C-alpha cells in the first residue's frame, strides 16, 4: 500500500470531497494508507490503515479522523456509512477489512 488517498470505483463530487478532507489527515499522518469507495448511491465506505492507531481505542481513532471529516458539508457526511480504522496488524483479523479486500460485489 502506498501513502495516498485512493478512490476505488465510481468517482463523484462526494467521494472527491471526502478524498480532499482525508488528504489533510494524510499530511499529518504520512504513514497512513487511505482508501474509500462508493458502495451505492447513498453509501461511501472509508478505510484508514495507520500505524499511529497502535495502542488507541476506537473512540480515540475516530476522534483523530473525524476532526478532518467534520468540516465537510452535511450531505457529504451523510453518505459516509462506514469508517474502518486499523493498524496493519489488525487488517488480517478484521471482518470490516474484508469488505475492502473483496468489495467487487458491491461496487457500482
- Quote the pTM value: 0.89
Helix axes 58-69, 13-28, angle to 10 degrees: 120
Instruction: Give the gyration radius of the chain's Cα atoms.
Output: 13
pLDDT at 103: 63
- Do residues 99 and 34 lie in contact, with contact meaning Cβ atoms separated by under 8 Å? no
pLDDT at 95: 86
HSE value, Cβ hemisphere, 13 Å, CA-based, for 36: 24
Average pLDDT over residues 59-85: 97
pLDDT tens-digit map of 75-99: 999 999 999 999 999 998 998 888 7
Amino acid at each position: 500500500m502506498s501513502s495516498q488517498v485512493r478512490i476505488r470505483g465510481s468517482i463523484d463530487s462526494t467521494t472527491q470531497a471526502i478524498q480532499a478532507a482525508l488528504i489533510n489527515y494524510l499530511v499529518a499522518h504520512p504513514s497512513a494508507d487511505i482508501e474509500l469507495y462508493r458502495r451505492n448511491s447513498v453509501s461511501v465506505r472509508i478505510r484508514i490503515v495507520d500505524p499511529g492507531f497502535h495502542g488507541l481505542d476506537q473512540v480515540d481513532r475516530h476522534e483523530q479522523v473525524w476532526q478532518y471529516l467534520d468540516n465537510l458539508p452535511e450531505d457529504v457526511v451523510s453518505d459516509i456509512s462506514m469508517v474502518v480504522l486499523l493498524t496493519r496488524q489488525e487488517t488480517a483479523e478484521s471482518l470490516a477489512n474484508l469488505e475492502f479486500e473483496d468489495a467487487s460485489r458491491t461496487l457500482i
